[in-house]
Amino acid sequence: MAMSRRHTRAVHKPPPIRRAHADGGGAGQMQQALSCFTRGDRSRAESLCRTILSGDADHPGALTLLGIMMAQSRRAEEAAELLGRAAARLPNDASAQNNHGSALRDLGRHLSALDCFDKALAIQPDYAEAHFNRGVTLQDLRRHEEALASYDRAIALKPDYCTAWNNRGTLLRAQRRLEEALASFDRAVLFGPRHADAHNNRGVVLQELERYDEALSSYDRALEARPQDPEVLNNRGVALHALGRFEEALSSYERALGGRPEYAEALNNRGVTLHSLERFEEALSSYECALAMRPNYAEAHANRGVTLRQLRRFEEALAECAEALAIAPRFARAWMNQGMLLRELGRHRDALSSYERALAIEPDCDAYRNEGMALEEVGRAAEAVASYQRALALEPESPFLLGACRHARMQICDWVDFGTDLERLTRGIEGDQPVATPFTMLSLLDSPDLQRRAAEIWVREQCSPRRKLPPIAPYAAHDRIRIGYFSADFRNHALAALAGELFEIHDRSRFEIMAFSLGSDRKDEFRLRAEAAFDRFLPVGGLSDDEVASLARRLEIDIAVDLGGYTRHARPRIMALRAAPVQVSWLGYLGTMGGSFIDYLLADPVIVPPEYRHHYAEKIAYLPSYQPSDSKRVIADKTFTRAELGLPAEGFVFCCLNANYKITPETFDCWMRILAAAPDSVLLLLGGNPSAERTLRQHAADRGIDAGRLIFCGRLPYGEYLARYRAADLFLDTLPYNAGATASDALWAGLPVITCPGHAFASRVAASVLTAAGLPELIAADRPAYERLAVALATDPARLAAVRAKLASSRNTAALFDTPALARSLERLYERMHQRIRTGLPPDHLLPVIS
């Protein structure tokens, strides 16, 4: 968000009285006028000067003193006229020429002012004040190097010239020479310890150097000299905000506004801090006040748009971005904000155009990052990598950026620096640094400990509401336990293949089932099915997190089940706000959420053995088998020929249709050794990404395998996608992120799957699926065993045929395909969770009950 802070200010004072001439008549009156001026009796001094001038219109002393008083009263035209007459009367007096130049500068007549200062210096080359004033004028003209030379000359003549040191600092800051500027301000406050502007300006530079505590000290020193200075108080608020001391920042802005209620910058900044405190409606009000003071305030329009976006009022937010850009077409941050809004609305092409406009104006880490995210979402992963790499070049330590770049590189199977990146990510997470999102880590490291720590960092940085809802008061007992399922994926998605049937067969005599749909209102096949499956289907994608959580509370949901976790489009902050007394994580995210706001994580004994429970922030609620499977999935009647799929006429077909980002170098090495040991085999992989296809073929060639043995297949309608599995002989799983829904799909279509379980949740899901399918013999103990098993099945047709026959028969008996049994087990867990909370017991591990 755009905060406004006052820039360093070059100080220009009205001309000092270096010498007020008393030549000619009225000498006594002139001395009396000077005495009155010195005592502060300006009215009497002015009267005496005018009396003198009524008798001697060109009296240099009276012209000078009266001109100075007019300048100090900001009556610039009169000051210039009077001091010009004095300069004409005293053509060889350096002070008179200097004073005239100062008055002309006040009128904006900079070139004429420069002539005057040059005349003064021709008369008196060591005149420090004239060098100083010449520097101020040159600075106004943006002739920065000449201005700097003038300040340096003034300081050489007068080393303790505090104001010259201050102005020199402002000039160096404008040139982004921040360390030199700071050194100049240090000298200014050394020679002028009560110089409020110098302390304030020093604070601004320290803030730009991200030395916020020191900046705060400088602002406090400035306030010792000017306790109620609104601009210093505003700057102080910005520093406090940067330090995360939001309540103190708010107090500083309020003090600034107490002295200047119409101060638009402070109103804008107050809005930014209120936004950070998640007091969004108050933030909007503060921006509106700023805009009432200054209707063309682009930053306030842009910030109002950011807050409206947070409230998911996207069209209003877009209108604010348009206002900001109409006022300031080169406002890069507003272009970026507009891109983020357009991306939220699914308008990716327009979003990318906005990011391009932002980056053309100002190459910025955040803009490159957001461009990368948009490019990923439209399948342009190679371009996304380039954007992330540009962002990293600008800010290598930017939060979560290294992980985002590595994830994008995994999508195109770019493994350059893979080991180095993993070391950096590991060190970062061990050092409690925000280097990667929790989801990214699932596919990179088989470490439940590091995955938990990554999740805990994410919770701290991104998922801890500052403005919490009040504790949930106990609900009166309901006739049926109210279950709320929260997901952005009630659409044609893997969620449908897993849980579609389960939603339909919940026991409605004991449970009231509600869907909180967080995604777009897309009326596809599964969306229509889901709307019919639930007792209530609530499209809440347009509501803010606070509003969704509050709605769940008003509906008195007993148990909230988060089906998204930290996946794309999920909204875990709803759970962090507490939507229900009991909150559960299941299916969407294969790992711990790392926060206290999820009470239970559903698993089974294969995925989370008792000795692994300490890796999870939640209590484990055990199902007999973890993953549901929709028995209503229809496999298309189509029979694909090998030629249609690009497969050779003969030979064994290995298959893996997991997403590309799940393929690690170690997994690929296993596959290539398997292909080498089964010479007539090929590997069928998910295609549609030309960059990934080219890279994987090159990786195969680098490992001595003919690149033509890698066959890529595109996406198909779901029924045909299932039918295609019949053309393959064996599914090879990935590690550390296993096949989940994909494994279930392959088994449902009759294709055996082999896996090698690791330690983390996501690396044990396929083993869970195979156990539930009654095929534990397809679970290898380690990678070498995995390779041996794959080769054995590929080279022993009878053994493979036996496995296929067993899989075919298990479709009628195996737990994996017995959705009603899983539903009953799940419902018993819900009842136990509900009973514990109703009787005042905390969550605890819940072991499976087999009936």
> Residue 615, SS3?
helix
What confidence tier does 812 reach under pLDDT thresholds 50, 70, 90? confident
Q: Would residue 24 count as lying in a domain?
A: no
Residue 112 has a pLDDT of: 94
The dihedral through the CA atoms of 224, 226, 229, 232 has a sign that is negative
Q: Say whether both 700 and 801 belong to one domain.
A: yes
pLDDT band (50, 70, 90) for residue 653: very high
* pLDDT mean over 93-112: 93
Q: What's the pLDDT score for residue 27?
A: 75
Q: Is residue 506 part of a domain?
A: yes
Going from the C-alpha of 619 to that of each of 459, 546, 599, 847, the distances in angstroms are: 17, 25, 6, 11
The answer to which of 35-49, 265-279, 400-414, 721-735 has the lowest mean pLDDT is 35-49
Q: What is the predicted pLDDT for the residue at 22?
A: 40
Domain shared by 600 and 503, yes or no: yes
* Same structural domain, 533 and 606: yes
- On whether both 671 and 790 belong to a single domain, the answer is yes
pLDDT at 480 > cutoff 90: yes
Q: For residue 4, name the pLDDT band (cuts at 50, 70, 90).
A: low
pLDDT higher than 50, residue 143: yes
For the segment 519-530, the average pLDDT, to the nearest whole number, is 86
Q: Give the mean pLDDT of 243-272.
A: 97
Same domain, 659 and 778: yes
Least confident of 19-23, 593-597, 825-829: 19-23
Contact 633, 790 (CB under 8 A): no
Domain at 782, CATH number: 3.40.50.2000
293 located within any domain? no
Mean pLDDT lowest for which of 7-21, 361-375, 776-790, 805-819?
7-21
- Closest to 568 (Cα-Cα) out of 343, 418, 276, 307: 343
d(CA 294, CA 405): 41
Residue 557 within a domain: yes
Same domain, 543 and 573: yes
pTM over 0.85: yes
Specify whether 523 is located in the same domain as 452. Answer: no
User: How far is CA 560 from each of CA 128, 441, 533, 579, rounded to the nearest angstrom?
Assistant: 74, 25, 17, 7
Residue 183: inside a domain, yes or no? no
547 located within any domain: yes
Helix (H, G, I), strand (E, B) or coil at 817: helix
C-alpha 44: how far from chain center: 62
Residue 151 forms part of a structural domain: no
- Confidence (pLDDT) at 26: 64
Residue 40 within any structural domain of the chain: no
Domains held by the chain: number: 3
Q: What is the domain range of residue 493?
A: 481-622
Q: What is the pLDDT of residue 287?
A: 98
pLDDT for the residue 851: 54
Q: Do 765 and 618 sit in the same domain of this protein? A: no
Residues 605, 752: one domain?
Answer: no
pLDDT tens-place string over residues 558-607: 999 999 999 989 999 999 999 999 999 999 999 999 999 999 999 999 99
pLDDT at 494: 86
Sole residue written with tokens 């053994």? 799
> Which residues fall within 8 angstroms of residue 229, CB to CB, at 6 or more apart?
196, 200, 222, 223, 259
pLDDT of 169 higher than 70: yes
Residue 349: pLDDT band by 50, 70, 90 thresholds? very high
Q: Verify that 563 and 601 share a domain, yes or no.
A: yes
Q: Are 419 and 448 in a shared domain?
A: yes
Of 3-7, 312-316, 389-393, the least confident: 3-7
CA-only gyration radius of the chain, Å: 36
The CATH number linked to 592 is: 3.40.50.11380
Clarify whether residues 587 and 714 are in a common domain: no
